[in-house]
Chains A and B, each alone.
Chain A
Amino acid sequence: MNLTLYVWRQAGPGEPGAMKRYDVPDVSPDMSFLEMLDVLNERLLERGEEPIAFDHDCREGICGSCGMVINGRPHGPQRKTTACQLHMRHFRDGDSIYVEPWRAAAFPVIKDLVVDRSAFDRIIEAGGYISVNAGAAPEANVIPVPKDDAEAAFDAAACIGCGACVAACPNGAAQLFTAAKITHLGLMPQGQAERQRRVVKMVAQMEDEAFGSCTNHRECEAVCPKGIAITTIARMNRDYLKARLFGKG
């Protein structure tokens, strides 16, 4: 098939950018979206144009590296699918496709479609862990975890940190990301000791970054490639209120 792409090109951080048009003929429906970009990049190189920079690594939908807004939707039109797992058979011959980087003040553009998501790491560093030194752990089966809790914790822990939630949110909020980790650890018995401290510190860090705040549009949930639900956000709110209003800290 033949496609017309409009891709955001930006030479470096803080530099001006613009959408640039590329005609991409001979696209195979079996290609992944990123392979289509690979092919375009090879052709650009032949013409002496610098290839389009985009983040990607595992190309199996699990590392969370890739991320671009495709036709107005983070990761493109297919539900619960990362851009690397999106295949061209979901497009039609003659389609125009708009490709843009994540847009958020907290995710500044580095180049073309590559953005800086280190704010996510700082949120985890603020408290997204259970404090246990290697060697200090008790026998694994000492603490039983109800199967349902383990499953629910897993659902939240499945987050790949891609940032689609922030990209989709009209407010550029990172609540789904933060809440997913708070929910994961808050559901495990091992995570109870630090539960209040964790939520207060992680939320504070989240708000120190340039993220917006939740207005319950549910866009994040709809585009999350791992299907993480906004019930996690309710849980974060509850834990936060408990900690701030009735907690010790």
Chain B
Amino acid sequence: MLIPYFSPIVAMAVAITHTLFILYWGAYILHASTILAIYDALFPAPVFYWGLFNLVVGNLFLLYLSLYMVSDTRYSRLAPYALLMPLYWYLVGIIALIAVFAPRAWRKTER
């Protein structure tokens, strides 16, 4: 099965896509035309559509994969939470942004 090899790649692609989309939508909501112009220059149509593909197909793939993995196990009561998978990637995106722009704000586990 390709899934064990494929899913980490999909997961990374989805996380990166979400991180970039957070910035994009943030700029869109704030009418930050400079950032939007940078986006247009950085992401020509093929790259944008590849990101869109990751956003839609990647999320669906990981959502159904999570649903499949918890089904018929003792964790099957967690199945409804698999629907929150897309939200999870946005949280991963926020963490990635914090790690890049404010590494000291990263709340590490206290030991």
Q: Do A and B come from one complex?
A: no
